[in-house]
Amino acid sequence: MTRGWVVRRGESAELAEVDRFLHGGDQAGAGDVLIDVSHSSINYKDALALRGQPGVARVSPLVPGIDLVGTVAESADRRWRPGAAVLVNGWGLGETHHGGLAERARVDGSWLVRIPGGISPERAAAIGTAGFTAELAVQAVADRPAGNVLVTGATGGVGSIATALLAARGARVVAATGRLAERDYLTGLGAADVLDRRELEESGKPLQSQRWAAAVDSVGGVPLANILAQTVYGGPVAACGLAADASLPATVMPFILRGVRLLGINSVRCPEDRRIAAWAGLAATLDLRLLDSITTTVPLADAAQAAEDLLAGRLRGRVVVDVRA
């Protein structure tokens, strides 16, 4: 029997047998490569799906898990042979396609990326979509003026890894968070300073004092509008999340008077060449021991509880699921 978490519309997830999802009987389980999954992770989307909250799982029933790490068991794709160590981020996993929170998964071979040498499967899952997104955002703001780089949502998965990656590449990072008690955690990641996120939460003028050479934002809403208004001439702002709000109550003034650049980061359908480049960047830059220090690992059976802990703010950094445990 193959175990996995299953979400049905209007219900909380349950740990159940999922073999019926692995034979291409429904579109959400289609694919030409069968993966023995070793690890997945709990992201914000996964946590909402496991709780049964609508809006993430777009088909029912569905195996959640937007990250998947494992080895090829069977393949009709000539690019992949049994035994290859692979990962998948995005492509609708855990949203429209059965995801990584099960012992096996069937996926399209074009979605796979080979795990870079030197990165273990558990660490690949700890990086996951959060780290992949963070690397895309960090690459997007690489061409920036000198000065402070702001990272919002800094104790979350994307923010934590973005902080570490930027600091490793020589940036002076200011980490914005509502959890000021985590100052030591953030400075340990490389942040030079910590900002109370409340400074960004009140609506402000369309143009404000120039504070940020660049920013990586995962919250959206009023904070993003203020960041744009506070970014220096020609500075890039990478937007990769909407934890606060999907709206953007801003004007065009930062763009036309200061040449500020708002750059959208989409990790779900990122082209293969950019995926490979991003993972190569992670392998070259990310301190894996630092990654270990911000990672919590739970067995498959505890995934739903980990999701609740994440949503309640009791967890920080990355949460890996050992699917085999």
Count CB-CB contacts under 10 A for residue 48. 19
The pLDDT score that the predictor gives to residue 120 is 97
* Average pLDDT over every residue of 150-171: 96
The architecture (CATH level 2) of 3-115+294-322 comes to Alpha-Beta Complex (3.90)
pLDDT on residue 205: 96
**In 3D, which of 88, 12, 22, 15 has the Cα closest to residue 53?**
12
pLDDT, one tens digit per residue, over 53-98 is: 877 888 889 999 999 999 999 999 999 999 999 999 999 999 999 9
Residues 160-182 have a mean pLDDT of 96
Q: Which residues have CB under 8 Å from 133's CB, separation 6+?
A: 158, 240, 265, 267
Residue 19 near residue 98, CB atoms below 8 Å: no
- Class in CATH terms, 129-264: alpha beta
Q: What share of the chain in percent tops pLDDT 70?
A: 99
Average pLDDT, the chain: 94
Say if CB 323 and CB 103 are below 8 A apart.
yes
Going from N- to C-terminal start, the domains of the chain cover 3-115+294-322, 129-264
Q: pTM (2 decimals)? A: 0.93
pLDDT for position 208: 98
pLDDT of residue 49: 92
CA distance 267 to 198: 28
Q: How far is CA 305 from the centre of its chain?
A: 19
**How many CB atoms within 10 Å of residue 146?**
8
Residue pLDDT, tens place only, 276-287 = 999 999 999 999
- The answer to which of 20-29, 45-54, 162-171, 227-236 has the lowest mean pLDDT is 20-29
Q: Is the model's pLDDT at 52 over the cut of 90?
A: no
pLDDT recorded at residue 315:
86
pLDDT band for position 24 (cuts 50, 70, 90): low
**Mean pLDDT in residue range 201-223:** 97
